[in-house]
A and B are shown apart, each in its own frame.
Chain A
């Protein structure tokens, strides 16, 4: 069975600094996707970034990038130049290729301070 582990319940960072959120996963599959989702306070969850497991190159979306270590089954999210609007719960998730059910981690609450 797939599992996703986020070992940091809470993190904080000062505005304009860089922060890294950790995620590890366990799967026996060769083909899968990994995601980071963001849930701002009282707002809906949205996709931040996606990584295909067969791609060695780390995904990047503007200030958000991942460090995907397939052998170590690690998938961390780096937020550069943190902004107040980055304050949110962040969930790591995985899905087997050609299936429809995401498996989520327990989340990391990120607070960005001015």
Chain B
């Protein structure tokens, strides 16, 4: 059974703390993504990575950074958490679209972060 696993389902952090959200996939996918999900706003792309050590900014990268040291692992980092980063964070992976794939995403269960 293929899986995308996010390390924490629920986190509570304080303003100014550094936060790490970890994501691991076992499908040997090239692409990995971090989305933020907020009511009424849908899913917004924060960052994505198409290869190890490669990353591209999505639509809302401000206040976030990412790390991809290994193909299966993609980390989202909040350098100094703020209350407006309270949200649900979804990790996803996919095969390269240029390989003839259709871009289907496989999602983790999500990490709900609350910043106090």
Residues of A within 8 A of B (CB): 6, 9, 33, 35, 37, 42-47, 50, 52, 91, 95, 97-102, 104-107
Residue of A9, A47, A91 near B40 (CB, 8 A) is: A9
Number of interface residues of B (CB under 8 A): 27
CA distance A105 to B33 in the complex (A): 17
| 12 A-B contacts (beta carbon < 8 Å) | A9-B40, A35-B104, A42-B109, A44-B4, A44-B107, A97-B97, A100-B31, A100-B50, A100-B94, A100-B103, A104-B42, A106-B41
Taken residue by residue from 83 to 113, chain B's Cβ proximity to chain A (1 for < 8 Å, 0 otherwise) reads as 0000000101010111000111101111000
A interface majority secondary structure: loop
Residues of B within 8 A of A (CB): 4, 31, 33, 35, 40-45, 48, 50, 58, 90, 92, 94, 96-98, 102-105, 107-110
Specify which of B4, B40, B48, B96 is in contact with A106 (CB 8 Å cutoff): B40
Contact: B50 with A47, CB < 8 Å?
no
Q: Is the CB of B102 within 8 A of A50?
A: yes
In the assembled complex, which residues on chain B have CB atoms less than 8 Å from the CB atom of A97?
A: 97
> Are B48 and A101 touching (Cβ within 8 A)?
yes
A46 near B103 with CB under 8 A, answer no
A101-B48, A106-B40 given; 4 more Cβ-contact pairs under 8 Å: A44-B107, A52-B102, A97-B97, A102-B105
Contact B31 A50 (CB under 8 A): no
| Contact, CB under 8 Å: A100 / B109 | no
Tell which of B42, B50, B92, B96 has the most Cβ of chain A within 10 Å: B42
CA distance A78 to B7 in the complex (A): 35
List, in ascending order, chain B residues with CB within 8 A of A98's CB: 97-98
Q: Which of A37, A43, A101 gathers most chain B CB within 10 Å?
A: A101
B29 CB → nearest A CB, Å: 10
Instruction: Give, as a whole number of angstroms, the nearest-CB distance from A11 to chain B.
Output: 15
With contact pairs A9-B40, A101-B48 given, residues A45 and B103 touching in the complex (Cβ less than 8 Å): no
